[in-house]
Amino acid sequence: METEFYEPRYKDGKIVAFADVEVSEGITLKGFRVVNGDKGLFAAVPSRPVTVEGETRYMNLVTFASPTDKEAFLARLLDGYDVWKKARHTDPASR
């Protein structure tokens, strides 16, 4: 799983990074988010707002075969974020 992380353009929200994940040769899923929430860091699946009966809801753009698969995938994404973040702090040229 190849992952490319990048910082958000504006840092006024809880999103600390975005990630694009190459899941297969030639297939990249864009828009995963790493969020600094009230309970710590978590990874979020790309989503799109939709309006249903006047209420805004968010529809996930990526689905997984099972909750266990989703949890494992997002855990690997967070592991990759930790590596990326540490590399950015030790190598000033990568900023």
User: Higher model confidence: residue 5 or residue 12?
Assistant: 5
50 - beta bridge partners? 57
Cα dihedral across residues 64, 68, 72, 78: positive or negative: positive
**Domains of the chain from N-terminus onward:** 2-94 (3.30.1120.40)
Q: Tell me the mean pLDDT in the region 39-52.
A: 95
Which residue do the tokens 């828009």 mark? Answer: 31
Q: Which amino acid is residue 74, in one-letter code?
A: L
Q: Report the percentage of the chain scoring pLDDT > 90.
A: 79
pLDDT tier at 94 (50, 70, 90 boundaries)?
low
Q: Tell me the mean pLDDT in the region 30-42.
A: 94
Q: Read off the tokens for 38.
A: 């009230």
State residue 43's pLDDT score.
Answer: 96
